[in-house]
């Protein structure tokens, strides 16, 4: 059975600006260490890479497609230059208030993988929000949280949502993620 690395985009691969929209090339910059370490992860271990991202209102006036795709495509090109190729990029375009079944932490976009021949138990979600860790829980995967020092409130949320056993690593370092995956594959 194949294993997956299900990776968030904004705040995980590329820096999320304060307005949460990467709608121009000027706003595109990679998280420290992601290119080198993700490339090494892809080389050394046997995961299929998926990108799963919520892009609030993509395709509406609040986030026109023409502002989204140029930066997104440059990002994919730069990843590809390092040999990092995603099997699929799954984008939910709804707003949080819509409660769409396809919006993380809900798993609607992942149906083919949930029903397919995948070893979800030994797969990981990597993301910078607690909803990514909830997403991991809903999929039956492990969660890696890109986070510097969770607040008291966030610690409480981890307890309340019973995410403690899902969350296997909290770090802001992609090198740390590489070493962690090396250990779990040894």
Nearer to Mg ion, 42 or 128 (CB): 128
Q: Which residue(s) pair with 50 in the sheet?
A: 6, 88
Does position 143 interact with Mg ion (CB under 5 A)? The reply is no
Among 23, 92, 128, 134, binds Mg ion (CB under 5 A): 128
10: contact with Mg ion by CB under 5 A:
yes
C-alpha to C-alpha distance for 41 and 17, rounded to whole angstroms? 26
Start-end of H helices in the chain:
34-44, 65-81, 111-115, 130-139, 152-160, 174-184
Look up 117 and say whether it is catalytic. no
Q: Which of 4, 6, 11, 139 binds Mg ion (CB under 5 A)?
A: 11
105 binds Mg ion (CB under 5 A): no
132 is catalytic: no
Alpha helix positions (H), 82-151 = 111-115, 130-139
Q: Which of 5, 6, 7, 8 binds Mg ion (CB under 5 A)?
A: 8
For residue 48, the 8-state DSSP code is E
* Residues annotated as part of the active site: 8, 10
Binding residues (CB under 5 A) for Mg ion: these are 8, 10-11, 128
């Amino acid at each position: 059975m194949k294993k997956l690395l299900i990776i968030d985009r904004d705040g995980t691969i590329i820096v999320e600006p304060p307005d949460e929209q990467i709608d121009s090339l000027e706003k595109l910059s990679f998280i420290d260490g992601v290119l080198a370490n993700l490339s090494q992860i892809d080389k050394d271990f046997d995961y299929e890479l998926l990108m799963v991202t919520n892009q609030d209102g993509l395709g509406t006036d609040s986030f026109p497609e023409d502002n989204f795709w140029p930066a997104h495509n440059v990002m994919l090109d730069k990843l590809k230059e390092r040999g990092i190729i995603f099997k699929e990029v799954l984008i939910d375009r709804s707003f949080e208030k819509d409660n769409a079944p396809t919006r993380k932490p809900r798993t609607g976009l992942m149906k083919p993988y949930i029903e397919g021949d995948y070893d979800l138990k030994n797969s990981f979600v990597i993301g910078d929000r607690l909803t990514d860790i909830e997403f991991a829980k809903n999929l039956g995967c492990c969660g890696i949280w890109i986070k510097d020092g969770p607040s008291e409130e966030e610690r409480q949320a981890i307890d309340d949502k019973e995410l403690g056993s899902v969350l296997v690593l909290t770090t802001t370092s992609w090198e740390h993620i590489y070493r962690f995956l090396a250990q779990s594959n040894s």
